[in-house]
């Protein structure tokens, strides 16, 4: 009789695991609330200032020593500058968080460096843009990109507890 109850218990455990995974997948697909942004002249100036800066270079006082080789650094800088150009062009007529996050997704998909420090540096630039635009949360987008679909949501939940 014991083997039968073990099988039944294992089936119940499997069903619980599958149900949890399905719930987590559906939860991640739920649309997030949009945020209308107050896109001011100050935000325009700060984004333009960020665009003018040289990116992915050695940052004194940090462990980041810049992207190598130089051709990769230039490509990544051009991608980020295209993002900023797009935001500067589109936000005056469509000042929404959803637009910003959609453009972030496009930029992150183009980013080719497998180096963790370079990926973290991209996230720092995106967080700087969020600060300029007064966007409090990426709704887990940045964490899912950095840590993957399994750990990303957990990291995001843990971060929100702080």
Tell me, yes or no, whether 120 and 50 share the same domain: yes
Domain that holds residue 20: 1-30
Tell me, yes or no, whether 15 and 53 share the same domain: no
Tell me, yes or no, whether 49 and 19 share the same domain: no
**The token pair that represents 45 in the structure block:** 């100036």
Q: What is the pTM of this model?
A: 0.75
Provide the domain count of the chain. Answer: 2
Beta-carbon contacts of 17 under 8 Å, excluding residues fewer than 6 positions away, are none
Tell me, yes or no, whether 80 and 52 share the same domain: yes
Instruction: Please measure the distance between the N-terminal and C-terminal CA atoms of the chain and give it in whole angstroms.
Output: 49
pLDDT per residue of the chain (162 residues) written in tens, 0 to 9: 456 667 877 777 777 677 666 655 555 555 556 899 999 999 999 999 999 999 999 999 989 999 999 999 999 999 999 999 999 999 999 999 999 999 999 999 999 999 999 999 999 999 999 999 999 999 989 988 888 877 655 555 554 444
Tell me, yes or no, whether 108 and 54 share the same domain: yes
pLDDT in tens, 79-109: 999 999 999 999 999 999 999 999 999 999 9
Tell me, yes or no, whether 57 and 78 share the same domain: yes
Q: Alpha-carbon distance 127 to 137, whole Å?
A: 9
Tell me, yes or no, whether 3 and 74 share the same domain: no
């Amino acid at each position: 009789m014991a083997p039968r109850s073990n099988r039944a218990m294992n089936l119940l455990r499997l069903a619980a695991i599958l149900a949890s995974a399905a719930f987590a997948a559906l939860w991640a697909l739920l649309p997030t609330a949009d945020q209308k942004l107050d896109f001011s002249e100050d935000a325009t100036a700060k984004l333009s200032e960020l665009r003018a800066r040289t990116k992915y270079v050695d940052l004194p006082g940090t462990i980041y020593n810049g992207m190598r080789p130089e051709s990769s650094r230039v490509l990544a800088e051009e991608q980020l500058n295209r993002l900023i150009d797009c935001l500067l062009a589109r936000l005056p007529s469509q000042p929404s968080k959803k637009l910003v996050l959609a453009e972030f997704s496009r930029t992150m998909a183009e980013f080719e460096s497998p180096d963790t420090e370079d990926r973290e540096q991209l996230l720092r630039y995106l967080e700087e843009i969020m600060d300029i635009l007064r966007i409090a949360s990426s709704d887990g987008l940045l964490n899912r990109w950095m840590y993957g679909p399994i750990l990303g949501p957990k990291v995001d939940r843990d971060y929100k507890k702080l």
